[in-house]
Amino acid sequence: MPNTLVFVDFPSPDPEATQRFYERVFGWTIEPRPLGDFHRIVPGEGLHLGIYGERTQTPNPTPDAGAKRGGGLMPRTYILVENAPDSYLPAVEENGGTVLWREAYWKEFDGWHASFLDPWGNQIIMWWKGRPTPEQ
């Protein structure tokens, strides 16, 4: 299939700490490739993720010419979770993340969601369809 989205990378000044954060919150197995520079996340079926060091910006062959993060709007990453989104938020907070909103229903997409920023400012939205539509 042409033009298929296959990978999203999270920038981090400390890929090892970012790895520990996501392992603790979602239980993912993360592969350093190499340690401290680029870490690959294969969270089951679906889109693969990565963590890249802001200093080297792997796989950028010329990191000095790489894009630096600005203060403007940034993409959000959605994670399809197995349990109610609120159940992950204690681990988010215990590991330095910031809750942006707790579980809410989105009528147009018939699902539940909650959101947080990881300690490096990447926004994650957890998505779940494990509960019936609320009574109107």
Domains of the chain: 7-57+73-128 (3.10.180.10)
Distance of CA 65 to the CA centre of its chain: 25
**Banded model confidence at residue 132, pLDDT cuts 50, 70, 90:** confident
Could you read off the pLDDT of 53-112 as tens digits, one per residue?
Answer: 988 888 877 766 555 666 677 889 999 999 999 999 999 999 999 999 999 999 999 999
Helices (H), the chain: 15-26, 89-94
In this prediction the pTM is 0.85
Rounded Cα–Cα distance for residues 57 and 63 (Å): 6
The pLDDT assigned to 69 comes to 60
Could you read off the pLDDT of 113-131 as tens digits, one per residue?
Answer: 999 999 999 999 999 998 8
Stretch 9-14: mean pLDDT: 92
Rounded Cα–Cα distance for residues 63 and 109 (Å): 39
